[in-house]
Chains A and B, each alone.
Chain A
């Protein structure tokens, strides 16, 4: 696993809370964002990620807690003096100004000499691939081009920190994939620390070096994409990041006893026996047509091209079991099939479990399936 280079935190967020009336948007949030990394704030809508972003930009103030940038108090600085720029979800391009004027706006406010402004605008236009469109007005551009202008306008100021609010949400799927690569390339090229807010876990996984998962104003887990996927810290993360089959039962010495289904193989430490626990199995770990395991009826087959997602109804489980298989499916709707998942070998992508009632007490060191038997 490739770890991003460890360095001093650029931004340090300590115990930040913010309420709107009865709603707790942020609750004791503490995070460190490192110099030069691509950081993602991931969570469902209403989890507080946008509030946190707006606090960093200076448009919101926390009720309590502190935020420092390069060790200095950031909260005392008004938004127009912060070395932080925000790329708005709506892009917020000034409709009465040309592309060049939009980009030059921030530099003019800094009283950068005119010649330098022209040079830097030309340079950044080349960086985002918009040379030749300098005189256009925003309404004459496509969605992807507008996004590039918004990005150019923010990075031309060479901020210490660039915030991106749902940067790809307004784009259609193809342009989105293109811009995803583009954003990564740009971040590498300009060397600015990026913080992106998104509700799209795939986007976060493909863009970011590290991801903070937020839910109901709290940070659930901060990790690189691979450990986040493989070792979710709690039930929420397990369910939110990637697809997962979640099966709840009682831990026994043999595995997990699920009423109406039987005992499923599962990793659990001996002292957890008797506890209620939830088993999480990634769909790509589930095998169809195996010898043993559970018996079910194929309820839905969705072909994605490279992979196929199969939903299998298993008696006793309230949700159909999802399986992802490579290529086209070998089963058809209504087929009876056996499902199981390998639990014996200690491999990445293993099934993990944790006590339901003590979900917040995770992470204990992940228990290898071998320890189970």
Chain B
């Protein structure tokens, strides 16, 4: 048993501040009434309505396409970037620039990407969102893999060479497996970030094929319906799962 300390009070309040809105949202998604001002009992009807909504379903499919594609792209590029940075340069500047898209304000990236797409006369659509998401996804994957790389014993690769493996064999059989937990964690992070990304998607989307966050935005403009609460709850569940998975994997890597 831990004894009570007054320090627990601000800690508790902070968590309340962080999670109360989310808790309310989740509860409201199960409210039978259609306004948040009354509680008419537990009901999953809004989830049914949600799945019947064609716009939502299409938005979900679009989001999954974008997230999957962006994750695949950023995992490959981010891993190579991390390994390359660690091995071939000691420049702090290059290092910083590589992970900058991860911390840059979304709106800056969004405007920049839109300006770039316009300049090169790139047609906007799902592919343009996918590429845009790969930009910050790559930075996140690179950052996570670099952390992992710092934990890997550098002599493993030398040992592999010493035992007769070529550089390529060493990369495939030793480097990649040692980095695997970091790569998977980075990929999960990139996926969950892409899943609910709105600002960049909004700027780089074409006239058709909106992603789920854009669909939600257009629904919210006419007032928050409990249907949206249900949708948000589902997204929350998915994001949470991925973030926790990513965290566990990166913790696992440290014990190896």
In the complex, identify which listed stretch (A20-28, A40-48, A84-92, A219-227) lies at the interface while the others stay far away.
A84-92
* A59 to B, closest residue via Cβ: B158
- Count A-side interface residues using an 8 Å CB cutoff: 23
Q: Does A109 contact B (CB under 8 A)?
A: yes
Whether B164 pairs with A92 at a CB distance below 8 angstroms is: no
Query: How far apart sit A105 and B159, CA to CA, in the bound complex (Å)?
Result: 10
Residue-by-residue, is A74-85 near B (CB-CB < 8 Å gives 1, otherwise 0)? 000001110011
* Residues from chain B with Cβ under 8 Å of A96 in the complex: 177-178, 180, 256
Is B121 part of the contact surface with A, judged by Cβ < 8 Å?
no
A-B pair count, CB < 8 Å, reads 62
Q: Assuming the A-B contacts A88-B158, A90-B155, A139-B256, are A109 and B163 also in contact, with contact meaning beta carbons closer than 8 angstroms in the complex? A: yes
Hey, which chain B residues are within 8 Å of A109, CB to CB?
163-165, 169
Q: Identify which of A58, A89, A90, A106 contacts B163 (C-beta below 8 A).
A: A106
The smallest beta-carbon distance between B255 and chain A, in angstroms, is 8
- B161 within 8 Å of A (CB atoms): yes
For the complex, is B20 an interface residue (Cβ under 8 Å from A)? no
Distance to closest chain B CB from A84 (angstroms): 8
Asked whether, in the complex, the Cβ of B163 is within 8 Å of the Cβ of A153, the reply is yes
A95 at the interface (CB under 8 A from B): yes
- Cβ contact within 8 Å between B177 and A92: no
For B156, give the chain A residue with the smallest CB separation.
A92
Q: Which residues of A contact B177 (CB under 8 A)?
A: 94, 96
Q: Answer whether residue A157 sits at the interface, using C-beta atoms and an 8 A cutoff.
A: yes
A 171-220 contacts with B by CB, 8 A = none
Structural contact, B158 and A80, CB atoms closer than 8 A: no
- B91 is an interface residue with CB less than 8 A from chain A: no
For residue A318, CB closer than 8 A to chain B, the reply is no
Contact A95 B159 (CB under 8 A): no
Q: Are the C-beta atoms of A95 and B163 separated by less than 8 Å? A: no
> A88 to chain B: which residues have CB within 8 Å?
155, 158-159
> Which B residues are in CB contact (< 8 Å) with A99?
none
Q: Are B155 and A80 in contact (CB under 8 A)?
A: no
Determine if B162 and A79 form an interchain contact, defined as CB atoms under 8 angstroms apart.
yes
Contacts of A139 in B (CB 8 A): 255-256
- A106/B164 in contact, CB under 8 A: yes
Which residues in window 150-170 of B have CB below 8 A to A? Answer: 153, 155-156, 158-166, 169
Given A80-B166, A109-B169: A92 touches B161 (CB 8 Å cut-off): no
Distance, CA A57 to CA B159, complexed state (A): 10
Q: Which residue of B lies closest to A109 (CB)?
A: B164
- Find the residue from A58, A84, A95, A153 having the highest chain B CB count within 10 A: A95
Contacts of B178 in A (CB 8 A): 94-96
Instruction: State how many angstroms separate the Cβ of A326 from the closest Cβ of chain B.
Output: 44
- Verify B256–A95 contact, CB threshold 8 A: yes
Give the shortest distance, in Å, between A160 (CB) and chain B (any CB).
14
Residue of B nearest to A79 (CB): B161
Closest B residue to A54 using CB positions: B158
Known: A92-B155, A96-B177. A105 touches B160 (CB 8 A): yes
A139-B256 Cα distance, complex, nearest whole Å = 7
Given A59-B158, A79-B161, A153-B163: A90 and B153 interface contact (C-beta under 8 Å): yes
Residues of chain B lying within 8 A (CB to CB) of residue A157: 163-164
Cβ of A345 under 8 Å from chain B: no
Chain B residue contacts of A291, Cβ below 8 A: none
CB nearest to B170 among chain A residues: A80
CB within 8 Å for A94 and B156 given contacts A109-B169, A139-B256: yes
A97-128 vs B, CB cutoff 8 Å, 1 = contact: the mask equals: 00000000110011000000000000000000
B60 in the interface (beta carbon within 8 A): no
Q: Cβ of B219 < 8 Å from any Cβ of A?
A: no
- Asked whether B22 is an interface residue with its Cβ less than 8 Å from the other chain, the reply is no
Which chain B residue lies CB-closest to A137? B256
Write out the residue numbers on chain A whose beta carbons fall within 8 Å of the beta carbon of B164: 80-81, 106, 109-110, 157
**B55 interface hit (Cβ, 8 Å):** no
Chain A 25-66 against B: per-residue CB contact (8 Å), 1 yes, 0 no?
000000000000000000000000000000001110000000
A80 touching B153 by the CB < 8 A rule?
no
Contacts of B155 in A (CB 8 A): 88-90, 92
Cβ contact within 8 Å between B153 and A92: yes
* Chain B residues, Cβ within 8 Å of A90: 153, 155
Most buried by B among A57, A88, A90, A109: A109
In the complex, A60 Cα to B157 Cα: how many Å? 14
A residues in contact with B174, CB < 8 Å: 94
Most chain A beta carbons < 10 A, residue from B164, B174, B177: B164
- Indicate whether A80 sits within 8 Å of B256 (C-beta atoms), given known contacts A88-B155, A92-B155, A96-B178: no
| A-B pairs, 3 with minimum CB distance | A106-B163, A109-B164, A92-B159
What are 23 inter-chain pairs, A to B, with CB distance below 8 A?
A58-B161, A59-B158, A59-B161, A79-B158, A79-B161, A80-B161, A80-B162, A80-B165, A80-B166, A85-B162, A85-B163, A92-B156, A92-B158, A94-B159, A94-B174, A94-B177, A94-B178, A95-B156, A96-B178, A105-B165, A109-B165, A139-B256, A157-B163
Q: Which residues on B are within 8 Å of A, measured CB to CB?
A: 153, 155-156, 158-166, 169, 173-174, 177-178, 180, 255-256
A binding-site residues for B, Cβ under 8 Å: 57-59, 79-81, 84-86, 88-90, 92, 94-96, 105-106, 109-110, 139, 153, 157
A80-B164, A92-B156, A92-B159 are known; give 15 further A-B pairs, CB within 8 A. A57-B158, A58-B161, A59-B158, A80-B166, A85-B162, A86-B159, A88-B158, A90-B153, A92-B153, A94-B159, A94-B177, A94-B178, A105-B173, A139-B256, A153-B163
